[in-house]
Structure 1
Amino acid sequence: MNNELSPVEELLIKLYIQHGDSIYFQYAEVIESKFPELKEYLNRMRIIRIIESNKQISIDDKPYYPYKEEEEDLDLRAFEAIPYIVRSINYITPHLNGRKEKILNIGTRKGLEVSIMKEMGYMNAVDVGINDGQVDTSSFKDESINLIYCRRGLEHLKNPKKVIDEFFRILKPGGLLFIIVPIIGAFKSADSLKRLINGDRILDYSIKMGHNLLPEIWMIGEEKEEMKRREVVYSPDIGLTVSAYRYSFIEYLKEESKLCEGKVLDVGAGGWVLPWRLFRHCEYITMDVEKNENIDVVGDVQDMHMFEDSSFDVIICSEVLEHVPSPHRAISEIYRILKPGGKLLLTVPFDIGLHDCPGDYWRFTEQGLKILLEEFSEVEIKFKGIDSKPLGYTCTCRK
């Protein structure tokens, strides 16, 4: 942006300084249509003033669902991200020893943080984008970066563990890796981040959003008193509960069981006896990491060495993958022990909240599932809930 401002631009800036945010909204149309560069400048200026005065700002409880935004609303979304940026920079700057330290920003669309840091005097701030789920940091030397900042980027990576390893390669000893991930649908839990990073601590900047619930909630197989003792997470704009989601994948297994025959393995079966009733016309075998009266084999889905290649006609993996540290390894093992032409019946949750048993590490989008299941010759993925904010997915896969 040219540092020489026109008289109109200077006037708008003076008004902005005097009247704060109200001037931005009052003259939003003028700024957006005639001075698009000034709009970004004013945004950055507001943030810098807040940071330099160390003013603490609050975040509105108003529900904000990014999935409702269209592509042209990205500027609005960037503006609503200001509270995150302020708190992030407030946290980051005390960890920097000087204005010449090298800062790497990963994948934040227009690089707003980099622009702000540069205007604050950190001239060594650079931006690297995310392309096709990949981040290319090969041009950076080992131990060359003081700070890596990644806001809303990790969930877009095909292999986050590989990228995290690369971050540690280019970070200087004592360097800071600062990551912000969305918690809608619980994409990354603190446990999964610790396994990826092995860092010092996790800062929880989560926001509780309001949900408009239907007057009557669809509860299936749950007594009201039992529901009171549990924390049920409701998805916005839909009357399905966690119980309704559970019912939906039971219906899925019920329909699929009619088409199955031969040898069936249920991995992660736990104490759930319903699939046995559905698959009792087959040779039904249960497996879980812990032994109980309903479990035939104790084992880990990530390492099923007790089974030979091509052993099963059908494998059920229902609500399991989110609980294993390495879902790619689990799917590889499932593929190995499936017979040619065999079928995998897979269900995974998305937006039903965290549920630790034993740990809740991952959430999968449709795009992520396609990558995870790419070895299979046929893959049919269906969502449960609404397409813009699914509660979970069912995947029917043929080897």
Structure 2
Amino acid sequence: MATVSQFDNDTMPMAREHINQFIIKTAQRLSHMEGGRLLEIGPQERSLVRQSFTNFKIETFDIVDTYGPDHVGDITRQNVSIADSTYDVVACLDVLEHTLEPFAAMRELRRILKPGGYVLLSAPLNWRIHGPIPDCWRFTEHGFKVLLRDFDNVEIDSLETPGRDLFPIHYNALGQCNKTKKTSDGELTFRFIT
């Protein structure tokens, strides 16, 4: 049986705080969107999105009904119970690494977002395999740029690993939905790292 390392025990609170500050900061930034609709993917028992986005009507989505979500489905498939362009904001925090097809998940998130709506993403990079199982993926800043290739105003921030530059513990990303954008591979640009 695997044991949790001291590194993981030390960095978990840092990663949690990184996500929490991202949620709070983004909620304040979008506070002008009075009466908007927000979908939180896989919230389990967390409540900070609900506490922070008080000016939004919040619904929840999960692959299982364990926590009583408003919608049960697979975010990597088209969920016919949710119409195109339904939400002003979708929060998908520490979920993409658990999907079997993260690119399909991004297509579905883009489909259900209104034009100009916002997606909040987060995922660990330098952290152990964790539940809910499966834990399939890790995304670098370059990976987030590819996932958000057809979004505008993309912002990515990282929680750096102490003493180990270029291997962040965790990433948060924010993007604005553009329904008409189709970025080719050749149009992608990445920060140069030696």
Q: Same fold (TM over 0.5)?
A: yes
Aligned length: 167
Match of 2:166 in 1: 388
CA distance in 2, matches of 1:255, 1:240: 24
Match of 1:255 in 2: 25
Match of 1:278 in 2: 52
Q: Does the aligned pair in 1 maintain the 2:23–2:48 contact within 8 Å?
A: no
Q: Does the aligned pair in 2 maintain the 1:271–1:292 contact within 8 Å?
A: no
Aligned residue among 277, 288, 291 for 2:62: 288
Question: What does the per-residue CA deviation read over 1:74-108, in whole Å, with 9 as the maximum and x for residues that have no partner?
Answer: xxxxxxxxxxxxxxxxxxxxxxxxxxxxxxxxxxx
| Superposition deviation, residue 378 in structure 1 | 2.0
| Superposition deviation, residue 358 in structure 1 | 2.2
CA distance in 1, matches of 2:12, 2:6: 7
Match of 2:182 in 1: none
1:290 aligned partner, one-letter code:
V
Q: Which runs of 4+ in 1 moved over 6 A?
A: none
| Superposition deviation, residue 240 in structure 1 | 4.9
SS for the counterpart of 2:169 is: strand
| Superposition deviation, residue 264 in structure 1 | 0.3
Task: Identify the structure with bigger relative contact order (alpha carbons < 8 Å, sequence gap 6+).
Answer: 2
1:92-171 equivalent positions in 2, closer than 5 A? none
RMSD: 1.8
* Structure 1: runs of 5+ lacking an equivalent: 1-229
1:283 aligned partner, one-letter code:
K
CA distance in 2, matches of 1:294, 1:232: 33
Match of 1:321 in 2: 96
SS for the counterpart of 1:354 is: coil
Name the one with the larger strand percent. Answer: 2
Q: Does the aligned pair in 2 maintain the 1:287–1:297 contact within 8 Å?
A: yes
1:354 aligns with 2:129: yes
CA distance in 2, matches of 1:378, 1:370: 11
Name the one with the larger helix percent. Answer: 1
SS for the counterpart of 1:351 is: coil
CA distance in 1, matches of 2:5, 2:115: 40
* Structure 2: runs of 5+ lacking an equivalent: 178-194
Find the structure with the greater CA-based Rg: 1
Identity %: 32
Aligned residue among 25, 38, 42 for 1:264: 38
